[in-house]
Chains A and B, each alone.
Chain A
Amino acid sequence: MKYEVEEKGLNLVELLDYANIPEINAYFADALKTRQKKSDGFNEAIENYREAKKHFMNVLYVDRPDKTEPTPLYFFQLTKYGKDDWRYYDIYPAPVDISPFEVLPKELMVYMGNTAAHPSEIVREDRVWSPKLGKYLELCYVHYSTTFILGTVRDSNYRPKSAPKRKKKKVKVLSEAERLKINPELGYAILFNCWSMYPTLMDGFIQDFMLDVLAERNQAKLDMKEASNV
């Protein structure tokens, strides 16, 4: 059973927008309630969904003994919002210090979304190339429906043997300051965390910083004044 939802024009963004209109929200709720009363398999479908989801979560992630070895295994759930628009519904464990898109880039979400897999059939691919990340990933996923994918991702063990040997690039190890320079969001996240945990210390640090900035500003003003006098 595979409904072509998109052809019928259901777009999640649009649906969520409409659901904010009280009358229409009530209309959807009534429609679903009425449908549930009909006992024509509608409720069973919802129950089946919950059961199946639990089953796939167990098979794909919970019962797997290799969650951390050789590389961390992430469990993801993706929802389809529109054509080639797949978004995270959830990712577990939450990636630390990296964006979820460095774990599973959008291009691979679209790739999985467009894979002609039978619903409820687990697809295992141990070498999916991600141009964005520049590495192979190991994917294991299932299309529960045309709008929902559950799966796991981790770095692949695969190393192409026949690939021409490339000159090893010298990797520059970034200092912490350089790392934060290219990722100021992370820098501020650490800074705010420090501010919450050590407010007095941080206040002192910030005050010193601002006094220096103000002193520089005053000096610049003085210099300008002197220059204009000359």
Chain B
Amino acid sequence: MSEGKKELPLDIFELTELMHVPEVCFELSMRMKLVKTDLQDKVETYHGRHREIFQELYINCGGGDNVYPRLYWFELAYFKQNDWGLRTMFPWPTPVFEPYRMLLPESVMIFMADASVDADKVVEMKMEYPMPHYRRLNFRFVRYSASLILGTLQDDFSQLTDMVANLDKTDAESFKKDPTLAMRLWRYLMYTKPELTESLLERFVDKFLPTVKAMEAERSLKAPAVSVTGG
């Protein structure tokens, strides 16, 4: 059924753009009618297989439970050459402290898209994101077709257990010993106590931003600089 990785004959951007041409739109609407009748079996096969993969990778693996580390379902679609985008992510929206681009950066999407894998087989992959936004993630995905990747991602559980067990002993020394600990612990705290967002941002504005702004002002006296704060 699926045909693995190859160049698509019609990309999504092109299709959306062509929709604006009345003649093409008319043609496609006629074709759409035929698709719904003549190619109905293919559509049903697609939806059926899609459901199976969702069941296998997400529902059967505890998807839907609001626990940490959270299991995310994602679908990536091919838009045009070297341009893959997120089509669906679930649960959605991702928490405010975790924009989806941090979970699934473009480079990772391209990596999955370019990976030479058998179509329709579940691929397991571990990814480690560099500092400062360090994280280790487990991916399971299926290359459904040339234009579609379906899969799940979840933070590696192994890096959580030790950290939680040693919470009482965590001090400034612990952060020096393990540079990844700060990021991992921060994420854990934000997931388990989302109400911390308010005090974090308050402190960030009151204590951190003035320091950065002063630094930027000092730097701009020497050379024009790009402001990170927009101020």
Binding site for B on A (CB under 8 A): 1-3, 5, 8-10, 12, 14-16, 18-32, 35, 41-42, 45-46, 48-49, 53, 79, 89, 96-97, 144-148, 176-177, 180-181, 184-185, 187-199, 201-203, 205-207, 209-211, 213-214, 217-218
Q: Report the 5 A-B pairs with minimum CB-CB distance, sorted nearest first.
A: A29-B9, A10-B29, A148-B20, A29-B10, A45-B23
B61 on interface, CB distance cutoff 8 Å = no
Write out the residue numbers on chain A whose beta carbons fall within 8 Å of the beta carbon of B198: 181, 184
A28 to B29, CA, bound (A): 10
- Complex-state Cα separation, A213 to B203, whole angstroms: 12
How would you classify the secondary structure of chain A's contact residues: helix, strand, loop or mixed?
helix
Could you tell me the distance in whole angstroms from the C-beta of A106 to the nearest C-beta in chain B? 18
Q: How many residue pairs, one in A and one in B, have C-beta atoms under 8 Å apart?
A: 208
Give Cα distance in the complex from A217 to B167, angstroms. 10
Query: Interface size (B, Cβ < 8 Å)?
Result: 74
In the complex with contacts A3-B25, A195-B133, A203-B132, A213-B196 CB distance below 8 A: yes
A18/B35 contact (C-beta < 8 A), A12-B19, A79-B16, A190-B228 known:
yes
Are B9 and A25 within 8 A (Cβ)? yes
Name the CB-closest residue of B to A187.
B201
Evaluate contact between A22 and B2: CB separation under 8 angstroms. Answer: yes
Whether the pair A218, B168 counts as a contact (CB closer than 8 A) is yes
CA distance A211 to B15 in the complex (A): 53
Give chain A nearest CB distance to B8 CB in angstroms: 6
Q: Which residues of B contact A12 (CB under 8 A)?
A: 16, 19
Contact A144 B20 (CB under 8 A): yes
Q: In whole Å, how far is A192's beta carbon from the nearest beta carbon of chain B?
A: 8
- B103 at the binding interface (Cβ < 8 Å): no
CB of B209 within 8 A of CB of A9, answer no
Q: Are B148 and A45 in contact (CB under 8 A)?
A: no
Asked if B96 lies at the interface with its beta carbon under 8 angstroms from chain A, I say yes
